[in-house]
Amino acid sequence: MIEIRPVKIEDANELLEIDIRNRELFETYSAADRKDSDYQLYNYRKNIEKYLQDMKNDDGYHYVIIQKEENKIIGTIDLFAVVRHNIQSCMMGYALDEAYSGQGITTIAAKKVIKIAFNELGFHRVEAGAQPTNVGSVRVLEKAGMIREGLNRSNVRVKGEWKDHYLYAIVNENF
C-alpha cells in the first residue's frame, strides 16, 4: 500500500506538483506563509537540501509517503522541533495529496514514523497539533494512538489569523 522513506533531492519536482495541486487545502491548515514565488522548483530543491542537513544535525527528519502500486509520492511526513537531552521529544506534521485522503494512508504513515521516532531515533515523546476544525487530522492522530492532552489557544498563525490547536502526544512506553 504505502511506504515512507527519507526525502531525496530528486523528489523536488513531485513535491512541488503536490503542493501546487493542493495549495488551497494545505494553506488552510499550514503555518507556512507562502507566496506565489515560493512555488518554484529551485526553492523546493533548496528546502530539501536544508532537510537533508537537518537530518545530519539531528534537527529534524523529513520523509515522503509513497503509494507503492503507482511508485508515486503522495505526501510528506516530518519530525521537527527536536529537543534532546532530558526531554527527547519532537513534533510530527504531515500533508497528503487530497486525491488520496479518506483511505487511512496518513494514519499508516503516522504509525510508521512514530515507530521510527521511538525505535530508530530514540525519542521518548512525539507530539502533534491539529486545529479543532480539521476533523480528518484529529482522526489521524487518534487512530495513530496519540492522546489529546489539551488545547493550545491561539498558538499558530495561519494566513494571518491566530488558530487554536489541540495538542496530541504519544510516549514510547504507550506505543
Q: pLDDT, tens digit, for every residue of 73-107? A: 999 999 999 999 999 999 999 999 999 999 999 99
Query: pTM of the predicted model, to two decimals?
Result: 0.92
Work out the average pLDDT over 21-41.
76
130 vs 26: which has the higher pLDDT: 130
pLDDT for res 160: 79
Cell numbers given for 98: 487530497
- Total tally of structural domains belonging to the chain: 1
CATH number of the domain to which 160 belongs: 3.40.630.30
Q: Are 79 and 126 in contact (CB under 8 A)?
A: yes
**Per-residue pLDDT band at 174 (split at 50, 70, 90):** low
**Per-residue pLDDT band at 38 (split at 50, 70, 90):** confident
Cα-based distances in Å from 130 to 28, 73, 127: 12, 23, 10
CA atoms within 13 Å, Cβ hemisphere of 104 = 3
- Domain holding 41, by residue range, is 2-174
Cα–Cα distance for residue pair 6/137, rounded to 1 Å:
22
First CA to last CA distance, the chain: 22
How many beta carbons lie within 10 A of that of residue 92, not counting itself?
Answer: 26
pLDDT for res 29: 67
Cell numbers given for 86: 532530558
